Amino acid sequence: MTTVLEIEELTRRFGPVVANDHVALTVRSGEVVGLLGHNGAGKTTLVSQVVGLLRPDAGTIRVAGVDAVHDPAAARRAVALQAQSQAPIDGLTPRGAITIAGRLRGLTRRDAARAAERLADELDIGEWLDRRATPDGGGLSGGIRRLTAFAMAAVVPAPLVVLDEPTNDVDAARRRRLWELVRRLGDEGSGVLLVTHNVTEAERVVDELVVLDRGRVVAAGTPAQVRGATDHDLRLELSLHPNGTDPSTDPAAPPVAPTRRIRVGRRVLLTIAAADAADAVAWATSLRGRGRIEGYALAPVTLEDAYLELTSPPTTATTTELIDV
């Protein structure tokens, strides 16, 4: 596979704030690479440097073999971008906006029109295809504008497709369609950099993950590698009452040995071995019967568990603990 994006030691500061701190990242043709992180983790700052809107303080960026720091205009020609902000389509219909994007990327008028129809059908936005967006935010909902912007980026796939939070404001049914198209962009040969904080949904379509936290890469690898759990691990989720205490920290509980304990608000997430499932459920059922918890759920370990472990700040409301057993 050809490398379409290579970032090394990328550093960008805004005064005393280090937005990107020696970031390294690679995207190859045919791959979907997820860039995960909370709001403010440095994701959009990184994208802005890839497309030449910001200049890094240090480090290198190569896009399709072009030095994007020294020749951003040439590098940008190899990139199709859906920015985090809404595309400026006021006065246009989705059909017109997608067709114009296709024409600018070299399609004939007929091919651009056909591509707009096809994408509208695949994203289920045909009902709004000829409805005009108005400057007051009317005409089209935020979700339809977002899907239109995605179609504008996908109408002629580039060597590198950068999607910055593409599912913001998009309803669940159409998010599923969008994810299918993201996966197809990779399968058809583009390198895709998918910037998102939607961990659960992103896991379904990405080949590699890079997790950013406070500007630094804190984990990278396949979803299974980042998840860091075996196929025999399970997650026991305890739902606490308001201001409830974590029963898993009681001296005599739980009757199983969790390998990971994470508390996020009123949720306690315990990673346990599958062999301990029966004992864990019996213990959780007892807790609920005694009113210690509101409820519980047992499910396979997900990427969210590892993501929360990597990015949760150590506060009284959110604690993370790895337990050696």
**Residues 182, 44 share a domain:** yes
Amino acid identity at 178: L
**Residues 303, 264 share a domain:** yes
Split at pLDDT 50, 70, 90, the class of 319 is very low
Concatenate the DSSP letters of all residues of 85-111 into one string.
SPP--TT--HHHHHHHHHHHTT--HHH
- pLDDT of 203 higher than 50: yes
> Quick one: tokens of 283?
């213990």
When pLDDT is averaged across residues 157-176 and rounded to a whole number, the result is 92
Distance CA 158, CA 79 (A): 6
**Residues 109, 188 share a domain:** yes
Tracing tokens 């890079």 back to the chain, one arrives at: 210
- Which helix (H) or strand (E) is 202 found in, with range? helix 199-202
Distance CA 208, CA 119 (A): 26
**Residues 243, 172 share a domain:** no
CA 35 to chain centre: 6
DSSP 57: S
**Residues 192, 236 share a domain:** no
> Quick one: tokens of 36?
């995960």
Q: Which of 248, 257, 263 is nearest to 321 (CA)?
A: 263
Q: CB–CB of 156/125 below 8 Å?
A: no
Range of the domain at 197: 3-226
**Residues 258, 197 share a domain:** no
Split at pLDDT 50, 70, 90, the class of 229 is low
> Quick one: tokens of 267?
């949720």
Tracing tokens 């590892």 back to the chain, one arrives at: 306
pLDDT in tens, 169-179: 899 999 999 99
**Residues 315, 247 share a domain:** yes
Distance CA 24, CA 18 (A): 15
DSSP 264: E
Task: Classify the C-alpha dihedral 153-154-158-159 as positive or negative.
Answer: positive
Amino acid identity at 284: A
Tracing tokens 């009284």 back to the chain, one arrives at: 316
Question: Which of 195, 226, 257 corresponds to the end of one domain?
Answer: 226
Q: In total, how many domains does the chain have?
A: 2
**Residues 82, 188 share a domain:** yes
Concatenate the DSSP letters of all residues of 17-34 into one string.
EEEEEEEEEEEETT-EEE
Q: CB–CB of 232/274 below 8 Å?
A: yes
Split at pLDDT 50, 70, 90, the class of 132 is very high
pLDDT of 12: 96
Residues 6+ apart with CB under 8 A from 238: 246, 247, 248, 267, 268, 270, 284, 287, 293, 296
Q: Lowest mean pLDDT: which of 5-19, 156-170, 226-240?
A: 226-240
Kindly report the CATH number assigned to the domain that includes residue 137. 3.40.50.300
Q: Which of 240, 242, 323 is nearest to 287 (CA)?
A: 240
What residues form DSSP beta bridges with 158?
none
Distance CA 65, CA 108 (A): 28
Average pLDDT score, the chain: 89
